[in-house]
Structure 1
């Protein structure tokens, strides 16, 4: 790709950002990509592989803990297929000498309290255990915190989940991953082995320009936590899937959009004082302000750093919007901020097109009479019909706050269930007078009336 010097286009701005990080953070090789539904794939590479292969879009890098997002999706697939429950203890599916009482959900959210790594000094020896050794030595691994006490990151926990997936599916973790995720989504460059087109990973000397090659490593039974290699183009597509699965998997072959919603719901913050990031079910959540969140994961292995994040919410955000940055330095932490910067810059300088409003169908006759303003708990709400559904918003809600959305409850006339937004899951019950006019509603058991009332039903405005 040619130099972006003087190029003020959106693509030129992104390229300049990548090249600045590569030069200033002294990264031997950087590969970046931005995926979005409304524009061609954007890619950029800078530097060299450190070996006799050319650096291009097909160069593979170690993605480290971004691997965990794949394992998490496999676990949720098992749940959706009825093979397990997220609150199952591990011993229901695995024969373990210890820690079998820990639940799938706790391990996914890093709140189980299990120690970070398998037993032994794996980062000294760079020899990861095989599956038998991992299980046999589990009794020597500590529960370093009470379960549910707080966030504590654990590669060991995710390795156990990968082993569980293989056990309940009847294959290895790699086999299940390839068949059920990589192939359906077309992630053909994502593999457990580096292949012939891989960049060399380096430790760049802090006080000189020397770059020391890092030794190749195979993570063995801990592979479900950090084994994979990939390209920036594959990872940008994967990040877009995590943010907007319906756009890339309309049939839900990999995972239903509602399940990704569940995975993206925050379970814990990573810092009790600075709520700048959190974990859902295997996914890192990074708030960006203005109701925007980036969802994905970072990765680090000897000689490599990676980040892959999709963007949700906010004005100008297109569908299927994800960015990935892969680099061949193990210490250039600037790489980990770059996906977030690329997503923000792409929206700022090339926002999604604005779709024109078009008239739609009217509300059903039995609901038209309840549209308009209602009062509940002393506050005013507006009920409306948009995009084929009944909605409700607080009269003072900011424009970007999602409304509550309702769906009819089968075989229960005048009863609807909140399916998203405020009071999600709660019922809305309608009360009609003799003429069939809705005169009162109860939402999550709170009374809603056409005029402001006290809790005992007195209309103080006469």
Structure 2
């Protein structure tokens, strides 16, 4: 089968997945997209909008809590610009009647212990507070858990972070979002209001084929948690950015790769017994096995469900790889699993091309003598020169495990900083004999020698 025929067959597999979920889960409208750097954007729409507009790639859906990923990025921009610190208390920047002791970091990771929603029965009445009332009634909201105790999802917490962004930028959350994220990334179909091309959201009856339209709602001051509308194409691109910012934003106009890496680091698990998902700084992390993780968020609002995830790691994963599924039903949970299935199927049926190996530059002369096998803590490690860097990995590490990577310290010869992988942040120090041969190393203060030794220096060759 030719490459073109293989890609066509893979696209048909993806389309079949979408059509099956739309039919079996009984969703009035589904829009899906897959973004990857090495292929044209793939899209699929099934169903109808429920109004007088046609369903196509430009149809907007409510994305609910996927909005939180945008607010989290805005917060991290403020941190990178020196406007706040993640360990700042809220009351350092906002005048609040209560809960000002909670930190930015805790709110981003949903570990602040703040109650889920603003004061009042917002899901019963669909009346949410404006900005002034959100703050005025904050003293009536509970801190239901001690900060840092465990994961507890909070729309109220994300609403406060949105207000914080507006405060430190002397603007509004919506204006900052448009100026600093949507416009630079070209996400022109992502908006705070539905616009004229939006699908109607439904609740589909469990025991009949009736689809009841849900009332439209504006989430007011809680908008930074769930307000946005978007298209599957925009959301697939956004998911690709969250997973691979270097490929989507090469100049770092929105956020640098190191900051996204920080956001993707798991802070907590969402279930203490089943570690099926974790939470970073505003991002959901879903392990897939074999060192693959999907990063993004789900969303739910009356009449709508959404999921947008990017894929990191694993053989066959292309650069800038993200998938999004938006649906006009509030009850079809199968929609939330579909982005993960699309990402897995795309890799299975149309993996990224294997990049050929090519010879590189030799290791610097002063490092050639240390390459090879060393022993530390009773285990064997292999030090090598790859891609222009000094690297190390355990001799028994599985092939997919990333190596430790070291960077030289310009003002300290024979001292390196671990910048990735095992013992990141720690120093590697080389010790040479009188002839300049490296005879010993200390990594994170542990002694490394050419032969296996006990901690007291006993050499098993003796």
Given the two structures, how large is their TM-score scaled by the length of structure 2? 0.98
> Distance between the aligned counterparts of 1:302 and 1:460, measured in 2?
69
Q: Does 1:40 align with 2:40?
A: yes
Match of 2:13 in 1: 13
> What is the RMSD computed on CA atoms of the aligned residues?
0.8
Aligned-partner SS, 1:184: helix
> Distance between the aligned counterparts of 1:331 and 1:381, measured in 2?
52
- Between 1:120-129 and 1:319-328, the stretch displaced more is 120-129
Cα 1:399–1:337 change in 2 (3 A) is same
Match of 2:4 in 1: none
> Distance between the aligned counterparts of 1:71 and 1:329, measured in 2?
25
Match of 2:163 in 1: 163
Match of 1:186 in 2: 186
Match of 1:348 in 2: 348
Match of 1:305 in 2: 305
Match of 1:314 in 2: 314
Aligned-partner SS, 1:183: helix
> Distance between the aligned counterparts of 1:122 and 1:248, measured in 2?
37
Aligned-partner SS, 1:430: strand
Match of 2:197 in 1: 197
Match of 2:268 in 1: 268
> Distance between the aligned counterparts of 1:365 and 1:101, measured in 2?
54
Cα deviation digits, residues 6-58 of structure 1 (max 9, x gap) = x9800000000000000110000000000000000000000000000000000
Cα deviation for residue 457 of structure 1 reads: 1.3
> Distance between the aligned counterparts of 2:58 and 2:450, measured in 1?
62
Cα deviation for residue 128 of structure 1 reads: 0.9
Match of 1:425 in 2: 425
Cα deviation for residue 460 of structure 1 reads: 1.8
Question: Structure 1: 5+ residue runs without aligned partners?
Answer: 1-6
4+ residue runs over 6 A deviation: none
Match of 2:439 in 1: 439
The 5-angstrom pairing of residues 55-204 of structure 1 reads 55-204=55-204
Aligned-partner SS, 2:413: coil
> Distance between the aligned counterparts of 2:257 and 2:362, measured in 1?
27
Cα deviation digits, residues 133-174 of structure 1 (max 9, x gap) = 000000000000011000000000000000000000111000
Aligned-partner SS, 1:9: helix
Cα deviation digits, residues 320-374 of structure 1 (max 9, x gap) = 0000000000000000000000000000000000010000111111111110000
Q: Does 1:327 align with 2:327?
A: yes
Cα deviation for residue 410 of structure 1 reads: 2.2
The 5-angstrom pairing of residues 380-391 of structure 1 reads 380-391=380-391
Match of 2:367 in 1: 367
Match of 1:213 in 2: 213
Match of 1:394 in 2: 394
Cα deviation digits, residues 190-211 of structure 1 (max 9, x gap) = 0000000000000011111111
Match of 2:3 in 1: none
> Distance between the aligned counterparts of 2:409 and 2:151, measured in 1?
38
Aligned-partner SS, 1:424: coil
> Distance between the aligned counterparts of 1:207 and 1:441, measured in 2?
69
> Distance between the aligned counterparts of 1:410 and 1:153, measured in 2?
45
Match of 1:30 in 2: 30
> Distance between the aligned counterparts of 1:170 and 1:248, measured in 2?
28
Cα deviation for residue 99 of structure 1 reads: 0.2
> Distance between the aligned counterparts of 1:81 and 1:374, measured in 2?
42
Q: Does 1:452 align with 2:452?
A: yes
The 5-angstrom pairing of residues 229-268 of structure 1 reads 229-268=229-268
Aligned-partner SS, 2:412: coil
Cα deviation digits, residues 99-135 of structure 1 (max 9, x gap) = 0000000000000000000000111111110110000
> Distance between the aligned counterparts of 1:282 and 1:367, measured in 2?
41
Given the two structures, how large is their TM-score scaled by the length of structure 1? 0.98
> Distance between the aligned counterparts of 1:244 and 1:48, measured in 2?
33
Cα deviation for residue 382 of structure 1 reads: 0.1
Match of 2:409 in 1: 409
Aligned-partner SS, 1:413: strand
> Distance between the aligned counterparts of 2:348 and 2:460, measured in 1?
49
Question: Structure 2: 5+ residue runs without aligned partners?
Answer: 1-6
Cα deviation digits, residues 65-115 of structure 1 (max 9, x gap) = 000000000000000011100000000000000000000000000000000
Aligned residues: 456
